């Protein structure tokens, strides 16, 4: 087994832990799920898009 060390903002970590607690899992379990899904789909397990300046201005 390997260890994964990452640095995140304290507030960001606490907020994520609250979300995952509501889902019945720990941050470590959620991280393992993310890694497993990344391997299963061959990339990020969600869409990543760059929003155009025009679209972001229309949202305002």
CA dihedral 5, 38, 31, 23 (to 10 degrees): 170
Give the pair of three-digit tokens for residue 44.
Answer: 């990020």
What pLDDT is attached to residue 56? 67
Residue 7 φ/ψ region, left for φ over 0, alpha for ψ in the -120 to 50 degree band, beta for the rest: beta
d(CA 9, CA 6): 10
- pLDDT band of 60, cuts 50, 70, 90: low
CATH architecture observed for domain 1-46: Orthogonal Bundle (1.10)
Please write the tens of the pLDDT for every residue from 27-59: 999 999 999 999 999 999 999 988 877 766 776
Give the separation between CA 47 and CA 44, rounded to whole angstroms: 7
pLDDT at 39: 98
Look up residue 20 and give its two tokens: 């995952």
Hey, where are the domains in the chain? 1-46
């Amino acid at each position: 087994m390997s260890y994964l060390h990452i640095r995140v903002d304290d507030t960001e970590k606490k907020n994520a832990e609250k979300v995952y607690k509501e889902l019945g899992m720990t941050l470590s379990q959620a991280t393992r799920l993310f890694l497993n899904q990344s391997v299963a789909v061959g990339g990020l397990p969600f869409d990543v898009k760059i929003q155009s300046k025009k679209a972001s201005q229309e949202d305002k």
